[in-house]
Amino acid sequence: MRFGRKGMLIPRYVGSYEILQRVGEVAYELALPAELASVHLVFHVSMLKKFVSDPPSILPVEGLEVDEILSNEEVPVEILDRHVKRLRNKEIATVKVLWRNHLVEGSTWEAEADIRSRYPNLFSS
């Protein structure tokens, strides 16, 4: 399961958690916090990564909402910047979007038309 934004360059790991016990040959049981109670506690070794302290790549668990189908919907908070990308035959308007549960460094450039159609409330002003 991936937490955070959708796409190729998303953070793939959440937090650092203690390993409680080895379950079988290639599975481990983790001590997850109460906020992740809907997530199964046993993970295959391929889903785990050795903890290396890199604060920008770790999502805070506080405010991370996992719904019934174990997915996390990202919601944009505000538009930080606008830019028009000029190609040979056309211009594409892009906006820099700050997402909920992400730092400013985690904001992404998205097509303005796409964001305007999905989140019209961001463009009310």
- 48-101 confidence digits (pLDDT tens): 888 776 666 666 666 666 666 666 678 888 899 999 989 899 999 999 998 887
* Cβ-proximal residues to 6 (8 Å cutoff; 6+ apart), any chain: 74
pLDDT of residue 10: 63
71 occurs within a structural domain: no
pTM across the whole model: 0.44
Amino acid (1-letter code) at residue 97: V
Which one is predicted more confidently, 21 or 14?
21
Per-residue pLDDT tens over the stretch 92-115: 999 999 888 778 888 899 999 999
pLDDT of residue 23: 92
Count of residues in the chain: 125
Amino acid (1-letter code) at residue 33: P
Domain interval for residue 14: 1-65
- Binning pLDDT at 50, 70 and 90, where does residue 123 land? confident
pLDDT of residue 60: 66
Do 2 and 44 share a domain, yes or no? yes
The DSSP-derived string for 85-104 is: EE-SS-EEEEEEEEETT--G
Do 17 and 60 share a domain, yes or no? yes
12 occurs within a structural domain: yes
Total domain count for the chain? 2
pLDDT of residue 40: 84
For the chain, the maximum distance between any two Cα atoms, rounded to a whole number of angstroms, is 59
70 occurs within a structural domain: no
